[in-house]
Structure 1
Amino acid sequence: MPYITARDGVRLYYEEAGSGTPIVFVHEFGGDSRSWEPQMRYFTRRYRCITYAARGYLPSDVPEDVERYSQQIAVDDIADVMDGLGIDSAHVVGLSMGGFATLHFGLRYAARARSLVVAGAGYGAEKQYEEYFRNVSLEVARKFEELGAPEFSKTYAQAASRIIFQVKDPRGWQEFADMLAEHSSIGSARTMQGVQARRPSIYDLEAELRRMQVPTLVIVGDEDDHCLQPGIFLKKTVPASGLLVLPKAGHTINLEEPALFNQFVGDFLATVEQGKWLPRDPRSQPAEIMKTS
Protein backbone atom coordinates (compact mmCIF):
# COMPACT_ATOMS: atom_id res chain seq x y z
CA MET A 1 0.00 0.00 0.00
CA PRO A 2 1.27 3.53 -0.76
CA TYR A 3 2.00 5.69 2.29
CA ILE A 4 3.34 9.15 3.00
CA THR A 5 4.98 9.86 6.33
CA ALA A 6 3.76 13.03 8.03
CA ARG A 7 6.18 15.33 9.86
CA ASP A 8 5.48 13.59 13.19
CA GLY A 9 6.07 10.10 11.81
CA VAL A 10 2.43 9.08 11.29
CA ARG A 11 1.92 7.16 8.04
CA LEU A 12 -0.94 8.34 5.81
CA TYR A 13 -2.39 6.01 3.17
CA TYR A 14 -3.13 7.65 -0.16
CA GLU A 15 -4.36 6.88 -3.66
CA GLU A 16 -3.80 8.87 -6.83
CA ALA A 17 -4.93 8.70 -10.43
CA GLY A 18 -4.88 10.88 -13.53
CA SER A 19 -2.50 13.60 -14.63
CA GLY A 20 -2.46 17.36 -14.84
CA THR A 21 -3.14 20.01 -12.23
CA PRO A 22 -3.45 18.32 -8.81
CA ILE A 23 -6.61 18.08 -6.73
CA VAL A 24 -6.36 16.87 -3.14
CA PHE A 25 -9.59 15.51 -1.63
CA VAL A 26 -9.99 15.67 2.17
CA HIS A 27 -12.69 13.46 3.67
CA GLU A 28 -15.25 14.02 6.41
CA PHE A 29 -15.40 12.43 9.88
CA GLY A 30 -17.92 9.84 8.73
CA GLY A 31 -15.99 9.02 5.57
CA ASP A 32 -12.52 7.93 4.55
CA SER A 33 -10.33 7.83 1.46
CA ARG A 34 -13.02 5.80 -0.35
CA SER A 35 -15.63 8.55 0.09
CA TRP A 36 -14.35 10.46 -2.93
CA GLU A 37 -14.72 7.65 -5.47
CA PRO A 38 -17.38 9.48 -7.58
CA GLN A 39 -15.02 12.47 -7.74
CA MET A 40 -11.89 10.40 -8.40
CA ARG A 41 -13.60 8.73 -11.35
CA TYR A 42 -14.83 12.03 -12.78
CA PHE A 43 -11.95 14.43 -12.24
CA THR A 44 -9.12 12.07 -13.21
CA ARG A 45 -10.17 12.68 -16.79
CA ARG A 46 -8.56 16.12 -16.58
CA TYR A 47 -6.66 16.35 -13.29
CA ARG A 48 -4.17 14.52 -11.12
CA CYS A 49 -6.39 13.42 -8.22
CA ILE A 50 -5.24 12.44 -4.75
CA THR A 51 -7.34 11.07 -1.91
CA TYR A 52 -5.95 9.96 1.43
CA ALA A 53 -7.11 8.51 4.74
CA ALA A 54 -6.68 10.95 7.62
CA ARG A 55 -4.72 9.81 10.65
CA GLY A 56 -6.96 7.59 12.74
CA TYR A 57 -8.58 6.12 9.61
CA LEU A 58 -7.40 2.76 8.34
CA PRO A 59 -5.27 1.91 6.50
CA SER A 60 -3.46 5.05 7.77
CA ASP A 61 -1.85 4.85 11.20
CA VAL A 62 -4.11 5.15 14.25
CA PRO A 63 -2.20 6.89 17.08
CA GLU A 64 -3.72 6.26 20.50
CA ASP A 65 -2.49 9.56 21.99
CA VAL A 66 -5.18 12.23 21.57
CA GLU A 67 -2.45 14.89 21.34
CA ARG A 68 -1.53 13.45 17.93
CA TYR A 69 -4.87 14.81 16.67
CA SER A 70 -5.83 18.47 16.21
CA GLN A 71 -7.17 20.92 13.66
CA GLN A 72 -3.67 22.22 12.98
CA ILE A 73 -2.23 18.73 12.61
CA ALA A 74 -5.01 17.89 10.14
CA VAL A 75 -4.03 20.96 8.10
CA ASP A 76 -0.34 20.08 8.22
CA ASP A 77 -1.19 16.57 7.05
CA ILE A 78 -2.58 18.03 3.80
CA ALA A 79 0.71 19.85 3.25
CA ASP A 80 2.67 16.69 4.11
CA VAL A 81 0.70 14.64 1.58
CA MET A 82 1.48 17.26 -1.05
CA ASP A 83 5.16 17.31 -0.05
CA GLY A 84 5.35 13.54 -0.21
CA LEU A 85 4.00 13.59 -3.75
CA GLY A 86 6.15 16.51 -4.89
CA ILE A 87 3.19 18.86 -5.30
CA ASP A 88 3.88 22.57 -4.84
CA SER A 89 0.26 23.73 -5.14
CA ALA A 90 -3.12 22.11 -5.63
CA HIS A 91 -6.84 22.63 -5.64
CA VAL A 92 -8.05 21.35 -2.26
CA VAL A 93 -11.56 19.92 -1.90
CA GLY A 94 -12.90 19.04 1.55
CA LEU A 95 -16.17 17.90 3.09
CA SER A 96 -17.27 18.64 6.68
CA MET A 97 -14.24 17.88 8.88
CA GLY A 98 -12.24 17.92 5.67
CA GLY A 99 -13.90 21.20 4.72
CA PHE A 100 -12.71 22.79 7.95
CA ALA A 101 -9.19 21.49 7.28
CA THR A 102 -9.39 22.83 3.73
CA LEU A 103 -10.44 26.27 4.95
CA HIS A 104 -7.61 26.33 7.48
CA PHE A 105 -5.22 25.19 4.76
CA GLY A 106 -6.16 28.32 2.82
CA LEU A 107 -5.31 30.42 5.86
CA ARG A 108 -2.02 28.72 6.73
CA TYR A 109 -0.77 27.63 3.31
CA ALA A 110 -2.37 30.18 0.99
CA ALA A 111 0.52 30.12 -1.48
CA ARG A 112 0.04 26.40 -1.96
CA ALA A 113 -3.75 26.52 -2.48
CA ARG A 114 -4.80 27.05 -6.08
CA SER A 115 -8.39 27.06 -4.83
CA LEU A 116 -10.56 25.74 -2.02
CA VAL A 117 -13.85 23.85 -2.11
CA VAL A 118 -15.34 23.98 1.38
CA ALA A 119 -18.39 21.69 1.50
CA GLY A 120 -20.64 20.99 4.46
CA ALA A 121 -18.48 22.92 6.92
CA GLY A 122 -20.40 24.38 9.83
CA TYR A 123 -20.91 21.95 12.70
CA GLY A 124 -19.81 23.56 15.93
CA ALA A 125 -19.24 26.90 14.23
CA GLU A 126 -22.51 28.53 15.32
CA LYS A 127 -21.67 30.36 18.53
CA GLN A 128 -24.95 29.50 20.25
CA TYR A 129 -24.22 25.77 19.80
CA GLU A 130 -20.49 25.87 20.53
CA GLU A 131 -20.61 24.34 24.01
CA TYR A 132 -23.23 21.78 22.99
CA PHE A 133 -21.13 20.69 20.01
CA ARG A 134 -18.04 20.18 22.15
CA ASN A 135 -20.00 18.12 24.69
CA VAL A 136 -21.78 16.01 22.08
CA SER A 137 -18.46 15.41 20.29
CA LEU A 138 -17.04 13.97 23.49
CA GLU A 139 -20.16 11.84 23.91
CA VAL A 140 -19.77 10.52 20.36
CA ALA A 141 -16.14 9.68 21.15
CA ARG A 142 -17.24 7.80 24.25
CA LYS A 143 -19.81 5.82 22.24
CA PHE A 144 -17.23 4.82 19.63
CA GLU A 145 -14.93 3.56 22.38
CA GLU A 146 -17.61 1.79 24.42
CA LEU A 147 -19.75 0.28 21.65
CA GLY A 148 -17.23 0.12 18.82
CA ALA A 149 -17.63 1.42 15.28
CA PRO A 150 -19.57 -1.59 13.93
CA GLU A 151 -22.35 -0.99 16.47
CA PHE A 152 -22.34 2.79 17.00
CA SER A 153 -22.14 3.48 13.25
CA LYS A 154 -25.76 2.30 13.04
CA THR A 155 -26.74 5.32 15.13
CA TYR A 156 -24.25 7.85 13.76
CA ALA A 157 -25.16 7.13 10.13
CA GLN A 158 -28.76 8.18 10.81
CA ALA A 159 -28.03 11.73 11.97
CA ALA A 160 -30.67 14.27 10.92
CA SER A 161 -28.62 15.70 8.04
CA ARG A 162 -28.05 12.23 6.55
CA ILE A 163 -31.70 11.12 6.47
CA ILE A 164 -32.33 12.82 3.14
CA PHE A 165 -29.47 10.73 1.68
CA GLN A 166 -31.03 7.56 3.08
CA VAL A 167 -34.43 8.49 1.65
CA LYS A 168 -33.35 9.44 -1.87
CA ASP A 169 -30.57 6.88 -2.31
CA PRO A 170 -30.90 3.93 0.12
CA ARG A 171 -28.23 1.95 -1.72
CA GLY A 172 -25.70 4.78 -1.64
CA TRP A 173 -26.49 5.53 2.00
CA GLN A 174 -26.06 1.88 2.96
CA GLU A 175 -22.65 1.81 1.31
CA PHE A 176 -21.70 4.90 3.32
CA ALA A 177 -22.97 3.29 6.54
CA ASP A 178 -21.13 0.04 5.83
CA MET A 179 -17.85 1.90 5.32
CA LEU A 180 -18.40 3.85 8.54
CA ALA A 181 -18.81 0.55 10.40
CA GLU A 182 -15.33 -0.47 9.23
CA HIS A 183 -13.62 2.52 10.84
CA SER A 184 -11.21 2.23 13.74
CA SER A 185 -13.14 2.74 16.97
CA ILE A 186 -10.09 4.28 18.66
CA GLY A 187 -9.27 6.43 15.64
CA SER A 188 -12.84 7.75 15.48
CA ALA A 189 -12.84 8.51 19.19
CA ARG A 190 -9.49 10.30 19.13
CA THR A 191 -10.49 12.32 16.06
CA MET A 192 -13.64 13.49 17.82
CA GLN A 193 -11.71 14.37 20.98
CA GLY A 194 -8.67 15.99 19.36
CA VAL A 195 -10.05 17.62 16.23
CA GLN A 196 -13.81 18.08 16.40
CA ALA A 197 -14.19 18.99 20.07
CA ARG A 198 -11.27 21.43 20.07
CA ARG A 199 -11.40 23.22 16.74
CA PRO A 200 -12.13 26.95 16.74
CA SER A 201 -15.36 28.36 15.37
CA ILE A 202 -14.99 29.85 11.91
CA TYR A 203 -16.70 32.95 13.31
CA ASP A 204 -13.61 33.47 15.48
CA LEU A 205 -11.49 33.51 12.31
CA GLU A 206 -13.32 36.41 10.66
CA ALA A 207 -10.36 38.81 10.50
CA GLU A 208 -8.11 36.17 8.95
CA LEU A 209 -10.78 35.03 6.51
CA ARG A 210 -11.35 38.58 5.28
CA ARG A 211 -7.67 38.75 4.31
CA MET A 212 -7.59 35.39 2.55
CA GLN A 213 -7.51 35.83 -1.23
CA VAL A 214 -7.68 32.15 -2.27
CA PRO A 215 -10.57 31.44 -4.71
CA THR A 216 -13.16 29.56 -2.67
CA LEU A 217 -16.38 27.70 -3.43
CA VAL A 218 -18.62 27.03 -0.43
CA ILE A 219 -21.18 24.23 -0.87
CA VAL A 220 -24.04 23.32 1.47
CA GLY A 221 -27.21 21.29 1.25
CA ASP A 222 -30.41 23.08 2.23
CA GLU A 223 -31.29 20.29 4.69
CA ASP A 224 -27.88 20.47 6.33
CA ASP A 225 -29.26 22.95 8.84
CA HIS A 226 -26.15 23.69 10.89
CA CYS A 227 -24.09 24.46 7.80
CA LEU A 228 -26.46 26.97 6.18
CA GLN A 229 -25.69 30.04 8.29
CA PRO A 230 -21.94 29.29 8.45
CA GLY A 231 -22.03 28.97 4.65
CA ILE A 232 -23.61 32.41 4.32
CA PHE A 233 -21.05 33.77 6.79
CA LEU A 234 -18.20 32.43 4.66
CA LYS A 235 -19.74 33.93 1.52
CA LYS A 236 -19.94 37.33 3.19
CA THR A 237 -16.45 37.09 4.67
CA VAL A 238 -14.07 35.40 2.22
CA PRO A 239 -13.36 37.93 -0.57
CA ALA A 240 -13.13 35.58 -3.59
CA SER A 241 -15.89 33.20 -2.56
CA GLY A 242 -19.08 31.86 -4.05
CA LEU A 243 -21.89 30.00 -2.29
CA LEU A 244 -23.73 27.01 -3.77
CA VAL A 245 -26.82 25.72 -1.96
CA LEU A 246 -28.18 22.45 -3.34
CA PRO A 247 -31.92 21.84 -2.82
CA LYS A 248 -33.24 18.85 -0.89
CA ALA A 249 -29.69 17.87 0.04
CA GLY A 250 -28.04 16.99 3.32
CA HIS A 251 -24.55 16.60 4.71
CA THR A 252 -23.00 13.75 2.71
CA ILE A 253 -23.30 15.94 -0.33
CA ASN A 254 -20.57 14.64 -2.66
CA LEU A 255 -22.06 11.13 -2.45
CA GLU A 256 -25.68 12.21 -2.22
CA GLU A 257 -25.58 14.48 -5.29
CA PRO A 258 -22.42 13.42 -7.16
CA ALA A 259 -23.49 14.71 -10.58
CA LEU A 260 -24.33 18.20 -9.33
CA PHE A 261 -21.29 18.29 -7.04
CA ASN A 262 -18.96 17.32 -9.88
CA GLN A 263 -20.57 19.71 -12.33
CA PHE A 264 -20.30 22.78 -10.13
CA VAL A 265 -16.86 21.94 -8.79
CA GLY A 266 -15.66 21.31 -12.35
CA ASP A 267 -17.00 24.68 -13.51
CA PHE A 268 -15.40 26.36 -10.49
CA LEU A 269 -11.98 24.80 -11.14
CA ALA A 270 -12.12 25.77 -14.82
CA THR A 271 -13.02 29.35 -13.89
CA VAL A 272 -10.15 29.51 -11.41
CA GLU A 273 -7.71 28.12 -13.97
CA GLN A 274 -8.74 30.92 -16.34
CA GLY A 275 -8.11 33.54 -13.67
CA LYS A 276 -11.77 34.55 -13.71
CA TRP A 277 -12.85 33.66 -10.15
CA LEU A 278 -12.35 37.07 -8.62
CA PRO A 279 -13.17 38.90 -5.40
CA ARG A 280 -16.48 40.74 -5.38
CA ASP A 281 -16.40 43.96 -7.34
CA PRO A 282 -16.09 46.84 -4.82
CA ARG A 283 -18.86 48.71 -6.65
CA SER A 284 -21.29 45.96 -5.59
CA GLN A 285 -21.99 47.18 -2.07
CA PRO A 286 -23.98 44.68 0.03
CA ALA A 287 -25.81 47.47 1.89
CA GLU A 288 -27.17 49.03 -1.30
CA ILE A 289 -30.74 48.13 -2.27
CA MET A 290 -31.38 50.44 -5.24
CA LYS A 291 -29.21 52.95 -7.10
CA THR A 292 -30.42 56.51 -6.81
CA SER A 293 -27.42 58.62 -7.70
Structure 2
Amino acid sequence: MKIEVNGININYEVHGQGPELVLIHGFGGNLTYWEPQVRAFSQKFRVITYDQRGCGQSGQPQSSFRMGDLVEELHQLMIALKVDKAYLLGFSQGGAIALLTAVKHPEMVRALVMSSSSTEFATVATREQKEMAANMVALLEKDGTTRFAEMFTNMNFSPGLKERSPAVWERYYRMLLSGRPETLIGITEASLEAPPPPPDITKLKCPVFFIQ
Protein backbone atom coordinates (compact mmCIF):
# COMPACT_ATOMS: atom_id res chain seq x y z
CA MET A 1 0.00 0.00 0.00
CA LYS A 2 1.07 3.58 -0.54
CA ILE A 3 0.21 6.87 1.11
CA GLU A 4 1.45 10.39 0.42
CA VAL A 5 3.61 11.83 3.18
CA ASN A 6 5.14 15.29 2.75
CA GLY A 7 4.69 15.04 -1.01
CA ILE A 8 6.34 11.60 -1.30
CA ASN A 9 4.53 8.31 -1.93
CA ILE A 10 5.54 6.10 0.99
CA ASN A 11 5.15 2.34 0.63
CA TYR A 12 3.96 0.55 3.77
CA GLU A 13 2.42 -2.67 5.05
CA VAL A 14 0.17 -3.45 8.01
CA HIS A 15 -0.12 -6.90 9.59
CA GLY A 16 -2.02 -8.20 12.61
CA GLN A 17 -4.18 -6.57 15.25
CA GLY A 18 -3.50 -5.04 18.65
CA PRO A 19 -1.33 -2.17 19.89
CA GLU A 20 0.61 -0.51 17.06
CA LEU A 21 4.26 -1.45 16.59
CA VAL A 22 6.25 0.47 13.95
CA LEU A 23 9.40 -1.22 12.60
CA ILE A 24 12.00 1.12 11.07
CA HIS A 25 14.67 -0.31 8.77
CA GLY A 26 18.31 0.74 8.64
CA PHE A 27 20.64 2.32 6.09
CA GLY A 28 20.30 0.77 2.64
CA GLY A 29 17.34 -1.37 3.68
CA ASN A 30 13.62 -1.55 3.06
CA LEU A 31 10.58 -3.04 4.76
CA THR A 32 11.45 -6.59 3.67
CA TYR A 33 14.23 -6.52 6.29
CA TRP A 34 11.55 -7.16 8.93
CA GLU A 35 9.78 -10.15 7.35
CA PRO A 36 10.81 -12.71 10.03
CA GLN A 37 9.91 -10.30 12.85
CA VAL A 38 6.56 -9.39 11.27
CA ARG A 39 5.52 -13.04 11.29
CA ALA A 40 6.17 -13.23 15.03
CA PHE A 41 5.06 -9.78 16.21
CA SER A 42 1.84 -9.68 14.17
CA GLN A 43 0.40 -12.37 16.44
CA LYS A 44 0.10 -9.77 19.22
CA PHE A 45 0.54 -6.37 17.56
CA ARG A 46 -0.70 -4.31 14.64
CA VAL A 47 2.68 -4.19 12.92
CA ILE A 48 3.48 -1.33 10.54
CA THR A 49 6.53 -1.47 8.29
CA TYR A 50 7.45 1.10 5.66
CA ASP A 51 10.07 2.00 3.07
CA GLN A 52 11.78 5.26 3.93
CA ARG A 53 12.03 7.91 1.22
CA GLY A 54 14.06 6.71 -1.74
CA CYS A 55 14.02 3.11 -0.48
CA GLY A 56 12.16 0.01 -1.63
CA GLN A 57 8.97 1.02 -3.40
CA SER A 58 8.71 4.52 -1.92
CA GLY A 59 9.15 7.62 -4.05
CA GLN A 60 12.42 9.47 -4.57
CA PRO A 61 12.38 12.85 -2.80
CA GLN A 62 13.42 16.19 -4.21
CA SER A 63 14.36 17.29 -0.69
CA SER A 64 17.26 16.04 1.42
CA PHE A 65 17.96 12.91 3.43
CA ARG A 66 18.84 14.77 6.63
CA MET A 67 17.90 12.94 9.81
CA GLY A 68 15.33 15.62 10.61
CA ASP A 69 13.54 14.85 7.33
CA LEU A 70 13.45 11.12 8.12
CA VAL A 71 12.09 11.80 11.62
CA GLU A 72 9.36 14.08 10.30
CA GLU A 73 8.51 11.47 7.66
CA LEU A 74 7.82 8.88 10.36
CA HIS A 75 5.84 11.41 12.40
CA GLN A 76 3.64 12.34 9.45
CA LEU A 77 3.22 8.69 8.44
CA MET A 78 1.90 7.86 11.91
CA ILE A 79 -0.55 10.76 11.69
CA ALA A 80 -1.68 9.72 8.20
CA LEU A 81 -2.29 6.15 9.40
CA LYS A 82 -4.16 7.49 12.46
CA VAL A 83 -1.65 6.02 14.91
CA ASP A 84 -2.04 7.95 18.16
CA LYS A 85 0.62 6.07 20.11
CA ALA A 86 2.91 3.22 19.11
CA TYR A 87 5.85 1.08 20.11
CA LEU A 88 8.88 1.97 17.96
CA LEU A 89 11.58 -0.55 17.04
CA GLY A 90 14.45 0.67 14.87
CA PHE A 91 17.53 -1.06 13.50
CA SER A 92 20.76 0.93 12.98
CA GLN A 93 19.76 4.21 11.28
CA GLY A 94 16.15 3.27 12.06
CA GLY A 95 17.02 3.26 15.76
CA ALA A 96 18.20 6.86 15.53
CA ILE A 97 14.98 7.81 13.72
CA ALA A 98 12.95 6.12 16.46
CA LEU A 99 14.92 7.82 19.24
CA LEU A 100 14.60 11.30 17.76
CA THR A 101 10.89 10.73 17.17
CA ALA A 102 10.45 9.73 20.81
CA VAL A 103 12.33 12.86 21.94
CA LYS A 104 10.44 15.22 19.64
CA HIS A 105 6.99 13.60 19.94
CA PRO A 106 6.96 11.79 23.31
CA GLU A 107 3.16 11.75 23.40
CA MET A 108 3.15 9.36 20.40
CA VAL A 109 5.58 6.72 21.69
CA ARG A 110 4.69 3.96 24.16
CA ALA A 111 8.16 2.44 24.29
CA LEU A 112 11.37 2.54 22.28
CA VAL A 113 13.68 -0.28 21.18
CA MET A 114 17.00 0.54 19.47
CA SER A 115 18.90 -2.33 17.85
CA SER A 116 22.55 -1.91 16.77
CA SER A 117 22.08 1.84 16.84
CA SER A 118 23.42 5.01 18.44
CA THR A 119 22.29 8.43 19.59
CA GLU A 120 24.89 9.88 17.21
CA PHE A 121 24.09 7.79 14.14
CA ALA A 122 23.50 10.83 11.92
CA THR A 123 26.78 12.46 12.90
CA VAL A 124 30.05 11.97 11.01
CA ALA A 125 32.53 13.83 13.15
CA THR A 126 36.00 12.29 13.10
CA ARG A 127 38.47 12.42 10.24
CA GLU A 128 38.34 8.63 9.93
CA GLN A 129 34.53 8.66 9.69
CA LYS A 130 34.62 11.38 7.03
CA GLU A 131 37.14 9.42 4.97
CA MET A 132 35.03 6.27 5.25
CA ALA A 133 31.91 8.17 4.14
CA ALA A 134 33.76 9.75 1.21
CA ASN A 135 35.07 6.33 0.14
CA MET A 136 31.55 4.90 0.28
CA VAL A 137 30.22 7.68 -1.95
CA ALA A 138 33.04 7.06 -4.45
CA LEU A 139 32.30 3.32 -4.42
CA LEU A 140 28.58 3.86 -5.05
CA GLU A 141 29.25 6.36 -7.84
CA LYS A 142 31.63 3.95 -9.57
CA ASP A 143 29.99 0.55 -9.12
CA GLY A 144 26.43 1.19 -7.94
CA THR A 145 25.34 -1.18 -5.18
CA THR A 146 27.26 -4.26 -6.39
CA ARG A 147 30.39 -4.02 -4.22
CA PHE A 148 28.62 -2.01 -1.52
CA ALA A 149 26.04 -4.76 -0.91
CA GLU A 150 28.66 -7.45 -0.29
CA MET A 151 30.86 -5.18 1.84
CA PHE A 152 27.99 -3.90 3.99
CA THR A 153 26.47 -7.36 4.44
CA ASN A 154 29.77 -8.70 5.73
CA MET A 155 30.10 -5.68 8.04
CA ASN A 156 26.67 -6.34 9.58
CA PHE A 157 27.13 -10.05 10.29
CA SER A 158 29.63 -12.01 12.34
CA PRO A 159 32.47 -13.78 10.50
CA GLY A 160 31.45 -17.11 9.03
CA LEU A 161 27.71 -16.45 8.93
CA LYS A 162 27.67 -16.71 5.13
CA GLU A 163 28.84 -20.31 5.46
CA ARG A 164 26.69 -21.17 8.51
CA SER A 165 23.45 -19.52 7.35
CA PRO A 166 23.73 -18.78 3.62
CA ALA A 167 19.99 -18.04 3.26
CA VAL A 168 20.14 -15.32 5.93
CA TRP A 169 23.24 -13.76 4.38
CA GLU A 170 21.78 -13.92 0.87
CA ARG A 171 18.45 -12.32 1.87
CA TYR A 172 20.19 -9.32 3.45
CA TYR A 173 22.64 -9.04 0.54
CA ARG A 174 19.83 -9.06 -2.04
CA MET A 175 17.97 -6.37 -0.12
CA LEU A 176 21.02 -4.08 -0.18
CA LEU A 177 21.74 -4.92 -3.81
CA SER A 178 18.25 -3.69 -4.77
CA GLY A 179 18.87 -0.29 -3.17
CA ARG A 180 19.20 2.94 -5.13
CA PRO A 181 22.72 4.40 -5.29
CA GLU A 182 21.35 7.96 -5.33
CA THR A 183 19.56 7.34 -2.03
CA LEU A 184 22.61 5.83 -0.34
CA ILE A 185 24.77 8.68 -1.60
CA GLY A 186 22.20 11.24 -0.42
CA ILE A 187 22.08 9.80 3.10
CA THR A 188 25.87 9.55 3.30
CA GLU A 189 26.42 13.09 2.02
CA ALA A 190 23.84 14.41 4.49
CA SER A 191 25.87 12.84 7.30
CA LEU A 192 28.92 14.84 6.18
CA GLU A 193 27.15 18.14 6.77
CA ALA A 194 27.28 20.02 10.08
CA PRO A 195 26.21 17.49 12.72
CA PRO A 196 22.91 18.12 14.51
CA PRO A 197 22.96 18.70 18.26
CA PRO A 198 22.72 15.49 20.30
CA PRO A 199 19.17 14.58 21.31
CA ASP A 200 18.02 15.68 24.75
CA ILE A 201 17.21 12.24 26.13
CA THR A 202 15.82 13.81 29.31
CA LYS A 203 12.72 14.50 27.21
CA LEU A 204 12.04 10.78 26.79
CA LYS A 205 8.82 9.80 28.54
CA CYS A 206 8.79 6.10 27.69
CA PRO A 207 10.74 2.93 28.52
CA VAL A 208 13.85 2.43 26.36
CA PHE A 209 15.60 -0.85 25.53
CA PHE A 210 18.97 -1.00 23.74
CA ILE A 211 20.10 -4.12 21.85
CA GLN A 212 23.72 -4.21 20.69
Partner residue, 1:16: 14
Give the Å deviation of 1:128.
10
Partner residue, 1:217: 209
Once residues 217 and 87 of structure 1 are traced to their aligned partners in structure 2, the CA distance between those partners, rounded to angstroms, is 21
Once residues 55 and 182 of structure 2 are traced to their aligned partners in structure 1, the CA distance between those partners, rounded to angstroms, is 9
Partner residue, 1:68: 64
Give the Å deviation of 1:145.
2.3
Once residues 13 and 128 of structure 1 are traced to their aligned partners in structure 2, the CA distance between those partners, rounded to angstroms, is 29
- One-letter amino acid matched to 2:4: T
Contact preservation (8 Å) 2:96, 2:119: no
* Closer/same/farther in 2, CA of residues 56 and 128 from structure 1, 3 Å limit: closer
Contact preservation (8 Å) 1:124, 1:133: no
* Closer/same/farther in 2, CA of residues 128 and 52 from structure 1, 3 Å limit: closer
Once residues 16 and 133 of structure 1 are traced to their aligned partners in structure 2, the CA distance between those partners, rounded to angstroms, is 36
Partner residue, 1:108: 104
Q: SS of the counterpart of 1:81?
A: helix
Q: SS of the counterpart of 2:188?
A: helix
Compute the TM-score of the two structures, normalised by the length of structure 1.
0.65
Partner residue, 2:27: 29
1:5 and 2:4 matched: yes
Q: Deviations over 1:79-113 (max 9, x none)?
A: 12211211111101000000011111111111101
Once residues 107 and 171 of structure 1 are traced to their aligned partners in structure 2, the CA distance between those partners, rounded to angstroms, is 37
Runs of 4+ in 1 over 6 A off after TM superposition: none
Partner residue, 2:77: 81
Once residues 46 and 93 of structure 1 are traced to their aligned partners in structure 2, the CA distance between those partners, rounded to angstroms, is 15
Aligned-residue sequence identity (percent) comes to 23
Partner residue, 1:39: 37
Once residues 96 and 105 of structure 1 are traced to their aligned partners in structure 2, the CA distance between those partners, rounded to angstroms, is 15
Once residues 56 and 11 of structure 1 are traced to their aligned partners in structure 2, the CA distance between those partners, rounded to angstroms, is 10
Q: SS of the counterpart of 1:157?
A: helix
Give the structure with the higher percent helix.
1
* Closer/same/farther in 2, CA of residues 25 and 219 from structure 1, 3 Å limit: same
Once residues 194 and 99 of structure 2 are traced to their aligned partners in structure 1, the CA distance between those partners, rounded to angstroms, is 12
1:180 and 2:159 matched: no
Partner residue, 1:136: 132
Once residues 57 and 148 of structure 2 are traced to their aligned partners in structure 1, the CA distance between those partners, rounded to angstroms, is 20
Equivalences, count: 210
* Closer/same/farther in 2, CA of residues 121 and 33 from structure 1, 3 Å limit: same
Q: Deviations over 1:151-193 (max 9, x none)?
A: 432222222x423443542220111101111111111211222
* Closer/same/farther in 2, CA of residues 154 and 18 from structure 1, 3 Å limit: same
Once residues 128 and 113 of structure 1 are traced to their aligned partners in structure 2, the CA distance between those partners, rounded to angstroms, is 27
Contact preservation (8 Å) 1:150, 1:182: no
Once residues 95 and 171 of structure 1 are traced to their aligned partners in structure 2, the CA distance between those partners, rounded to angstroms, is 20
Compute the TM-score of the two structures, normalised by the length of structure 2.
0.89
Structure 1: give runs of 5+ residues left out of the alignment. 221-293
Q: Deviations over 1:121-174 (max 9, x none)?
A: 13966x996342233223212321221113432222222x42344354222011
